[in-house]
A and B are shown apart, each in its own frame.
Chain A
């Protein structure tokens, strides 16, 4: 029986696990990654894309927080697009189609370069503790790995069960065995576990598709990278294609819908409503004649095509028959069918804002095991959990991000205060301070936190600082005045009222249809942009403009934050016995007792806890303090 000794052990090599081990070893901890299959580390199990609405913002945050995903996505991206470009700059979200193989390979290479990381192929079956503190983990082969912190990032592998029609396969992903034992071991220690479900569409044979019947869709001409580290960014622009389902396709699905395990009652886990299966879409929105399907390459030159929008757990034969009623797919063949997968998760209300378990000190959870979905959501949790696993050992201040500075803060706060009933994915509307959480000001929001937690080195800090300095230079330039004849022709063109006297540029920018590009270039003549990537020069100008255009709203959001500051920083004692506070509402008592929030701010966000409950809690606490 082998025996290993580490500081931090991370169980699972998906996107959460990768970021956790990367940051932990970067922070200087002796780190181990336990993976069922070394070759599958950083595998993209579902769609071949990173970023997207609200997720693109998270990827940027991962970059400023020193993570790997953004940099490798820039390297492996084959088509980049800024989503929501027509809908307001705080919801602009970058997305990349990614070469899955290259992504996996480059992540694995990055991990191989880390000197204090050891990758162990094996299956974790139990957690060892001493006095409610983690002391190590046990592997299936009997080996013991002793350590001070554990991060569990088991994804969909815990008791994973794949459904295709009435076929059931025990697996963590198609073709990979599930992981059994951890759930039972933790439940025995008093953890609550639940069951969720997600799905993936079929993979099609490229040559079986009649591409002429599909519509081509390209990415942006001058795309945005995710990472400040990316130099000379000029990725290829590989096309994707679109087609639409037909009524004949819908008929086949509807007449076979009982064969879907979701409808036959075979699946117990709750699936995500924002990513419904095709049978769900056809059934619930029967008045829609067709649904758009996206054909995306799995990697550059791939012979496999991912069909986005056709997630399904119908029997393979039904999947094929339905798809063959779709233009361009008349003689389509599969590499593998779509499937649904059920897996165990641990309701994250059992965690602190550090992602450490409230019950067992040194035990952290990140990713789908917390009931989330998405590579990006998983990755950033891995990053936070990995960081805090190290801070825990070093007894240093943990990394806890706030709702008003990051989507990461919103994500984790939502997870620990809400009982997730379906896989959680990020939406911009979950962020009450959305106007402040722009992808283009991620640097300003997070750079100091990241630096002081040691997540980025001085060189990278200085790199990001250059863009921030440029932004303030541009803002400075915008305070100078413009003469009427310098701008009036542009104003006329835009249908705006002309100016009669010299006017400060930033005042003109407050007009909705005036942009920074309308202003005379002489304003910016003295600004130096050397050593800054062209894309980030553009972003600095964008930010300077945004700060002016959105000033009124930004100030209003800041006031909202200010109003709640006291509650957010008010720490609730761990020992408080909510059930004995009779003046609290019954529901409030139960919710508070179950979730045991760390701050008054968290308590306020728990559904079922009323403002009156919060008042009473404040008073009771004042009493007990004496």
Chain B
């Protein structure tokens, strides 16, 4: 019980860059990275690792360095992972670490630990001081944005229900010397169900919220020469990728940004998937697979005339939603298209060259990314910190639900769980003190003999 927690957070600023660093500090840091990479790290050696998610899919490759305590920034065991500077990847790595037992670092927590372990000298302290300041400024402005938004309203509602429930419980424990309030158990049960509902909905919205703030990644894959680059050029509105009749023209993935359904989408054209012969093309294919694995959506493209030609789609991760597209419909007679439509229900028929069917494709992309729901009025969790809070709160609330289902009402334990949930919510909305609850009691109940 004496071991401190292991914390994780991005150590580089949010945004797209060359590389990003995720820092993990605490006794479990080594094990967590060993788990996600599958390799052992040497102390202070740069190790090239695969960064795998929990089902073992590689989401990125990067460099991990293990600093054994006390020879680290915080004075604890620290692992720093340098990955590609894509916010989606960074977020994903942080999420994986949390799943593996780390908790998200509070602002300034690395520095606090470094300080506690006597690791800071004057120069470091000064520079870190500035960093913390900017961090807290950032979190302040973030909180401000949240406070203006619907999200905070929902959290505030959740908090309100929590406070109300806690006040009824504390009234019983702290003030009342008479029989329990009638309907106490029933009312609490209803409130707790409300909370389960609210928090679950919020958690479901996390993925969508992340797309809103951090954008989506859509990767086009397919055999060589099915028209992937033509599609990209058509969607972006100018000739970004080189196109030619020669298969295998695209070797390096080509990346463009466009807006679909109000969300910034990074569209990536990749090298055609086939059993490549040349060295360069081979590397291109391997990169295609890698990109596809970190996508939010994959466009799997076929030529309408050769629909049964196998793409290397078996190599693509199943967990990522795919859109099947038949291209070059301009080269096919219309009755054949009608016949194909009957056998391929969920497929988009387009002509990248003429632009026909692109509206349908765009709408399909929106569907797949979940962008067709009314996003502006809808509410979504956007940061991993919010998700973490909601998740922890939900766990406590579920415990409370369990306690409320028992025949004997264990009010002090219910109170404990509700308090824990409140603390999780407080990480987003700010501190609740015992006085807040007492104030509530004094306001709502006639107390005192």
- A residues near B (Cβ < 8 Å) are 53-54, 83-84, 86-88, 90-91, 273-276, 281, 284-285, 288, 291-294, 308-309, 418, 427-430, 432, 434-435, 495, 512-513, 550, 553, 555-559, 562-563, 566, 570, 583, 607, 610-612, 614-616, 618-623, 626
Complex CA gap A558/B2 in Å reads: 9
Complex CA gap A434/B121 in Å reads: 40
Q: Which chain A residue has the least Cβ–Cβ distance from B118?
A: A622
Interface stretch of the complex, out of B107-115, B274-282, B345-353? B107-115
**Contact bitstring B426-449, A, C-beta under 8 A = 1, else 0:** 000001011101100010001111
Complex CA gap A83/B106 in Å reads: 41
Interface: B70 (CB within 8 A) = no
Interface: B133 (CB within 8 A) = yes
* Neighbour of B1 across the interface among A292, A428, A558, CB < 8 A: A558
Provide a sorted-by-A list of 19 A–B residue pairs whose CB atoms are within 8 angstroms. Answer: A84-B173, A88-B412, A91-B411, A275-B449, A276-B446, A276-B448, A427-B434, A429-B437, A434-B415, A434-B416, A435-B413, A495-B407, A556-B416, A611-B108, A612-B107, A612-B135, A619-B120, A621-B115, A622-B115
- List B contacts of A570 (CB < 8 A): 116
Complex CA gap A292/B178 in Å reads: 10
B410 x A88 contact (CB < 8 A): yes
State whether A559 and B1 are in contact (beta carbons under 8 Å apart), knowing that A91-B412, A615-B132, A615-B136 are contacts in the complex.
yes
* Neighbour of B177 across the interface among A53, A558, A583, A607, CB < 8 A: A53
Interface: B12 (CB within 8 A) = no
Q: Which chain B residue has the least Cβ–Cβ distance from A84?
A: B173
- List B contacts of A556 (CB < 8 A): 416
B412 x A90 contact (CB < 8 A): yes
- List A contacts of B112 (CB < 8 A): 614-615, 618
- List A contacts of B413 (CB < 8 A): 88, 435, 550, 553
B132 x A87 contact (CB < 8 A): no
* Neighbour of B126 across the interface among A274, A495, A607, A623, CB < 8 A: A623
- List A contacts of B135 (CB < 8 A): 612
Q: How many A-B residue pairs have CB under 8 A?
A: 152
Q: Is the interface of B mostly helix, strand, loop or mixed?
A: helix
Which 3 A-B pairs rank lowest in CB-CB distance, beginning with the nearest?
Answer: A615-B108, A612-B136, A88-B412
Nearest Cβ on chain B to A8's Cβ, whole angstroms: 34
Interface size on B, as a range, is 35 or more
- List B contacts of A566 (CB < 8 A): 116
- List A contacts of B125 (CB < 8 A): 619-620, 622-623
Complex CA gap A562/B5 in Å reads: 10
Complex CA gap A567/B170 in Å reads: 28
Q: Which chain A residue has the least Cβ–Cβ distance from B139?
A: A612
- List B contacts of A550 (CB < 8 A): 413
Interface: B255 (CB within 8 A) = no
State whether A620 and B434 are in contact (beta carbons under 8 Å apart), knowing that A91-B412, A285-B446, A611-B107 are contacts in the complex.
no
- List A contacts of B106 (CB < 8 A): 611
B416 x A553 contact (CB < 8 A): yes
B410 x A428 contact (CB < 8 A): no
- List A contacts of B111 (CB < 8 A): 615, 618-619
- List B contacts of A513 (CB < 8 A): 407-408
Q: Which chain B residue has the least Cβ–Cβ distance from A570?
A: B116
A626 x B122 contact (CB < 8 A): yes
Q: Which of B357-395 contact A (CB under 8 A)?
A: none
Complex CA gap A610/B447 in Å reads: 32
Q: Which chain A residue has the least Cβ–Cβ distance from B135?
A: A612
